Amino acid sequence: MGGAGSTQTTLTGLVARWRACLASGEPLEFEARVRRADGEYHWMLHHKVALRDESGQMSNGMDRVIDIEERKRAEFRIRDLRQILDPRATAPRRHNSKPLSRDPGVHLVRCAVRRDHVCQ
């Protein structure tokens, strides 16, 4: 990743996407490198959903966070090997991800959501 400027740009874009999802009711999913308590950075998959009450007002939120560090390392290794075998194959390839709700690395966090506050 780049310097502080690119991090701020990424964060600003993410906040805008989350606010749009709050307004539309759609879930938000994104990957990000996160610093753990031990100081190591790991790739994490975040899935955020705003929960609404019977009247349609936001009441709570659900945030599922999955450690995908090993998957990302494998993706980077595959990309590097493809470039070695065929230097023309530099375009990133999309993967078809599926929910990993039965994965033991899944952590569910319940948090309150206010209209003017993005849950962290």
- Strand, helix or coil for residue 33: strand
Q: Residue 120: its pLDDT value, please? A: 44
Which domains are seen in the chain, by residue range?
4-67+100-111 (3.30.450.20)
Q: Which helix (H) or strand (E) holds 110?
A: strand 106-111
Give the integer Cα–Cα distance in Å for 83 and 65: 31
Asked if the model's pLDDT at residue 109 lies above 60, the reply is no
Give the integer Cα–Cα distance in Å for 83 and 90: 6
96 within 8 A of 90, measured Cβ to Cβ: no
CA distances to 46, 95, 97, 99 from 120, rounded to whole Å, are 11, 27, 23, 21
Give the integer Cα–Cα distance in Å for 52 and 60: 7
Lowest mean pLDDT among 4-8, 20-24, 59-63, 86-90: 4-8
Q: For all residues of the chain together, what is the average pLDDT?
A: 75
44 within 8 A of 65, measured Cβ to Cβ: yes
